[in-house]
């Protein structure tokens, strides 16, 4: 692939949007390649994904304005569908996806991060939906996901004003879970860049997720996502079904068995090697 890199580290997969010269802007080819990259993930091995952008400056600076500028209505619709199909694929991907947001996450960049399960960022991150300044609405789910993730009032303010916000404000309104800064030595020299600190934190979080019972983690993702779309009575039924679905799995037996063994003798097995079965 020209614009997407994939690296697998044990049970973690890292997908990198690699179009640094255009600040990782999403053109049709990037959208196609991202879709292929997600399809190619080996779900028998990989238990958590990280999505990031190449370089230090930008996660994704939006949909490709150059490509969009000449689209006809029909082409615009097709482009929108390509993006929306990909973003739904990420959102409903069976395993968790962490967005490691390094720098700009504007327009489609903010939107793709919001289709991930969790967002963390470097302290140079900047989020925004600048579309109304370009004469369009956020078209990759921005009006819907931002309003669900932060308050509707805050989402409306950000979208109507097209104002970009920095990492600390994104953290304050709950758009990101954590912000990472560069580390320095006593003389003030940078020893770890903000991007490296971010990626180390993302991998640590991903490893923590990958160490849990995988069927249970997948069912939690589905329960939260599906439950948020319906009323609480229906949501509880969704939860019950996915809870029940975990029973009789090898991992449920191993997880509970480990706890009971530890009660008898605390020196017994502490880490369960979950089998995804
Ligand atoms: N598209 C294409 N190229 C971009 C780009 C973008 N969104 N953002 C940056 N680039 C390119 C620049 O053109 C430049 O390329 P060269 O001139 O070097 O060839 C290179 O990346 C470096 O950018 P700058 O020189 O501008 O770098 P600066 O540091 O000065 O500024 C910036 C960084 C991020 C503030 C600035 O580049 C910028 O404002 N970029 C645009 C940000 C933006 O407005 N993003 C939102 C795009 S709208 C739809 C669904 C969804 C969407 C649309 C339709 N349908 C349902 C149909 C989504 C829309 C959007 O995302």
Residue in 29, 62, 79 to alter for ligand 1 test, most ligand atoms within 8 A of Cβ: 62
The two domains 4-210 and 214-268 share their CATH topology (first three levels equal): no
Percentage of residues in the chain having pLDDT higher than 70? 99
Q: How do residues 36-45 score in pLDDT, each as one tens digit?
A: 999 999 999 9
CA distance 81 to 9: 32
Query: Which residues form the pocket of ligand 1, taking CB atoms under 6 Å from any ligand atom?
Result: 22-23, 25, 61-66, 68, 76, 79-80, 83, 104, 106-108, 130-131, 134, 136, 139-140
How large is the average pLDDT for residues 202-214? 97
Dihedral sign of CA atoms 77, 80, 85, 88 in order: negative
Pair of tokens at residue 184: 């320095």
Distance from the alpha carbon of residue 110 to the mean position of ligand 1, in angstroms: 12
Residue bearing the CA closest to ligand 1, atom 39: 61
Pair of tokens at residue 154: 């805050």
pLDDT at 30: 98
Measured CA to CA in angstroms, residue 194 lies from 8, 121, 168 at distances of: 22, 9, 14
pLDDT grade for 262, boundaries at 50, 70 and 90: confident
Evaluate whether 112 touches 60 at the Cβ level (below 8 Å). yes
pTM over 0.85: yes
Q: What is the residue extent of each domain of the chain? A: 4-210, 214-268
pLDDT grade for 13, boundaries at 50, 70 and 90: very high
pLDDT at 10: 97
Average pLDDT over the chain, rounded to whole? 96
Residue bearing the CA closest to ligand 1, atom 34: 61
Q: Which atom of ligand 1 is nearest to the CA of 142?
A: 51
Q: Residue 125: which of 109, 101, 107 has the closest Cα?
A: 101
Looking at the annotation, which residues are catalytic? 111, 131
Distance from the alpha carbon of residue 153 to the mean position of ligand 1, in angstroms: 26
pLDDT grade for 269, boundaries at 50, 70 and 90: low
pLDDT at 232: 98
CATH code for the structural domain at 4-210: 3.90.226.10
How large is the average pLDDT for residues 109-131? 98
Residue bearing the CA closest to ligand 1, atom 37: 61
Residue bearing the CA closest to ligand 1, atom 40: 61
Q: How do residues 63-92 score in pLDDT, each as one tens digit?
A: 999 999 999 999 988 999 999 999 999 999
49 has which bridge partners?
A: 13, 97
Pair of tokens at residue 145: 């996901």
pLDDT at 265: 75
CATH code for the structural domain at 214-268: 1.10.12.10
């Amino acid at each position: 692939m020209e614009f997407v890199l994939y690296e697998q580290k044990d049970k973690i997969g890292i997908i990198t949007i690699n179009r640094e010269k255009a600040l990782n802007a999403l053109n049709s080819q990037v959208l196609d390649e991202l879709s292929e990259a997600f399809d190619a993930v080996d779900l028998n091995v990989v238990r958590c994904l990280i999505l990031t952008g190449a370089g230090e400056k930008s996660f994704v600076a939006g949909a490709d304005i150059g490509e969009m500028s000449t689209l006809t209505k029909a082409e615009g619709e097709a482009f929108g569908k390509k993006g929306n199909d990909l973003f739904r694929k990420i959102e409903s991907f069976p395993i968790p996806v962490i967005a490691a947001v390094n720098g700009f996450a504007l327009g489609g960049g903010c939107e793709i991060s919001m289709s991930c399960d969790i967002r963390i960022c470097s302290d140079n991150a900047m989020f925004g939906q600048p579309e109304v300044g370009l004469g369009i609405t956020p078209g990759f789910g921005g009006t819907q996901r931002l309003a669900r993730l932060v308050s509707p009032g805050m989402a409306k303010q950000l979208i109507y004003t097209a104002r970009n916000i920095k990492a600390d404000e994104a953290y304050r309104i709950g758009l990101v879970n954590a912000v990472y800064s560069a580390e320095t030595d006593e003389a003030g020299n940078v020893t770890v860049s903000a991007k490296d600190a971010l990626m180390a934190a993302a991998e640590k979080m991903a490893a923590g997720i990958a160490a849990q019972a995988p069927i249970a983690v997948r069912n939690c993702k589905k329960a939260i996502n599906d439950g948020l779309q319906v009323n609480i009575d229906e949501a509880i039924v969704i939860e019950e079904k996915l809870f029940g679905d975990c029973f009789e799995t090898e991992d449920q037996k191993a997880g509970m068995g480990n706890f009971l063994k530890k009660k008898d003798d605390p020196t017994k097995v502490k880490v369960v090697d979950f089998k995804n079965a």
